[in-house]
Structure 1
């Protein structure tokens, strides 16, 4: 009887492998802050506090929640913040900081963000990856990801990310003989749109089965203007927006997530302070008024065209959640007196999620998941089932 156990295991393994054969391999592009980022410190100078490390071998800069507690977060902000050189319009790490993105071509950088906390928002893509694994997909082989340094945008294209990701899709196709199901989340939708809308049609026809943008921030968000004005502590206990404001302003990618002028009208006020108002069309002046002169220069380098990607696209997104559309500030940029909400997924405004409708993209389907927010939609059972069906399993 005992000798039959290995045979049963072999049969089970064969079943799982056969279940995934003939199905599309899966490539996932995560959102901003949606993958791990490692750092190495060497002879850091002028740190925020005497206790901030000046030397450290490779460690998780993002995410390690222990670095986000009051006091420690000041060291973290310094280490992850970018420098901007206005004379060359380029971004770089702080002095003494080296960074790298782990797990490219695998899923170990997106399944859990904090490897010591495998629950909640840290379990970012775990439910989706596990759903595919249950059908015979193999992590790092038939389901992979293309993580990136989320501080940068497509303008910098750090690490030649565009070509690397296209090569990864080609590799999946060559290894499996099947076209790729390309899945993205949040800002990963911007990266995916940038890549796919600029790729040759023949390349897309050969390598890509379909694209599934989940909660795509196609046209940015209104709350991004608040991030630049007052910072966004994102609910971290005892941490103010002011603490993280300079760090957040330094990300090139945060400019990419500002409200897109193709979706926001010139008479729509997003920020009010006293008798002054700013719309998405006032952004260069807005940066001057919040005392961030470099912002105006950076913003001008980031035009973004919401052209039709011309590929079979299935947009999936949460809706019916209060989502900021405008803010009224009090006596200073640290005090918000009023937040006006509209529809969306709690983070991305509905017009941004549905940009494909507004722009008349062909070959594109949209599906709302009412009551799901920007993160929870990734774990929605109905959505996971649909993804499996789209992959052919």
Structure 2
């Protein structure tokens, strides 16, 4: 499952000899259960079922745009074979969904990292296209400025919620993902000097990310981070040019600072918690609130108290808010 960054091609790909595909594009079937053969964990099934009770039908009035979570997109002008293909497919899906429904604009609803992808997709389309085809953008739990947890997983690994799996067993695979660098805290949201990771001899802030990557033995990521990530997230994110309702969870302890007792990153650190949804820090979740609220743009930020990252998709309080915003556009 590793991906490979080729500095000469300046792009990510599968390991040689490995082919992958993303099934069910265009259908919400991909979002119901991560493993369709073992329905012991639901991702968006509760949300989708709620929409179905309102009359939405898969492939008719409700569509899905799944993607390979290992990849992301690159700044305009840099190669991104997987990202460009996804954006092309998403644009075609939006136009098809609109055409199947009398030319009405669509509502794009995303969760977590999907919000960053959809935002990049929108800002790259002509403004006339956006206003013609997109009635509202509803990002849920979007990490606009990255995550402190993103720095931690590059050291400790991430088992993706899989039981009985040591997170460090997936460290090499996790580091190989282009999307792992998108999760790093941005200076625009966290500031360039606020300590996020602390060791005995050094503090690392969002402005010290290159030094941090070298310190943890991941220096090969400095190039793609500086050329493919910072140009996208190192400054304020532009408004996507369509009505937006950002729904975020607050009031849940979220890793805010990672403290290592010495200079060894192979030991278990002490985690200082702050506000957020358990995954996305509050400062990241609201990073766009001030800039997107100005200039006469249609923007709403809804904070749901005591709501965790994934609970936003299953809790009745959160779902009522999300569905209300969908209905607002419809």
Given the two structures, how large is their TM-score scaled by the length of structure 1?
0.75
CA separation in 2, counterparts of 1:191 and 1:164? Answer: 13
**Is contact 1:187-1:216 (8 Å) kept?**
yes
The counterpart of 2:199, out of the listed 268, 273, 289, is 273
- How many pairs does the alignment contain? 312
**Is contact 2:210-2:222 (8 Å) kept?**
yes
The counterpart of 1:134, out of the listed 53, 76, 83, is 53
**Is contact 1:215-1:374 (8 Å) kept?**
yes
CA separation in 2, counterparts of 1:369 and 1:194? Answer: 25
Matched, 1:263 2:192: no
The counterpart of 1:174, out of the listed 88, 94, 99, is 99
Deviations along 1:198-249, whole A, 9 cap, x unmatched?
Answer: 3222112111111111001111101101111222335544433321111100
**Is contact 1:356-1:364 (8 Å) kept?**
no
* Counterpart for residue 209 of structure 1: 135
* Counterpart for residue 17 of structure 1: none
* Counterpart for residue 320 of structure 1: 251
SS at match of 1:365: strand
* Counterpart for residue 42 of structure 1: none
Q: Which runs of 5+ in 1 are unaligned?
A: 1-79
SS at match of 1:284: helix
SS at match of 2:188: coil
Deviations along 1:112-163, whole A, 9 cap, x unmatched?
Answer: 11113324xx311111111111122111221111111111111125161112
Q: Which runs of 5+ in 2 are unaligned?
A: 75-79
CA separation in 1, counterparts of 2:261 and 2:169? Answer: 19
SS at match of 2:258: strand
CA separation in 2, counterparts of 1:257 and 1:391? Answer: 27
User: Once the 2 structures are TM-superposed, how far is the Cα of residue 304 of structure 1 from its aligned partner?
Assistant: 1.3
CA separation in 1, counterparts of 2:157 and 2:298? Answer: 38
CA separation in 2, counterparts of 1:330 and 1:93? Answer: 37
Alignment CA distance shift 1:157-1:317 (3 Å): farther
Matched, 1:165 2:90: yes
Given the two structures, how large is their TM-score scaled by the length of structure 2?
0.89
The counterpart of 2:14, out of the listed 90, 93, 116, is 93
SS at match of 1:109: helix
CA separation in 1, counterparts of 2:43 and 2:225? Answer: 30
CA separation in 2, counterparts of 1:286 and 1:391? Answer: 41
User: Once the 2 structures are TM-superposed, how far is the Cα of residue 366 of structure 1 from its aligned partner?
Assistant: 0.8
**Is contact 1:86-1:294 (8 Å) kept?**
no
CA separation in 1, counterparts of 2:251 and 2:81? Answer: 34
Alignment CA distance shift 1:144-1:360 (3 Å): closer
The counterpart of 1:385, out of the listed 306, 320, 329, is 320
**Is contact 1:270-1:326 (8 Å) kept?**
yes
**Aligned-CA RMSD value:** 1.8
CA separation in 2, counterparts of 1:151 and 1:234? Answer: 12
CA separation in 2, counterparts of 1:210 and 1:231? Answer: 36
**Is contact 1:104-1:145 (8 Å) kept?**
yes
User: Once the 2 structures are TM-superposed, how far is the Cα of residue 88 of structure 1 from its aligned partner?
Assistant: 2.4
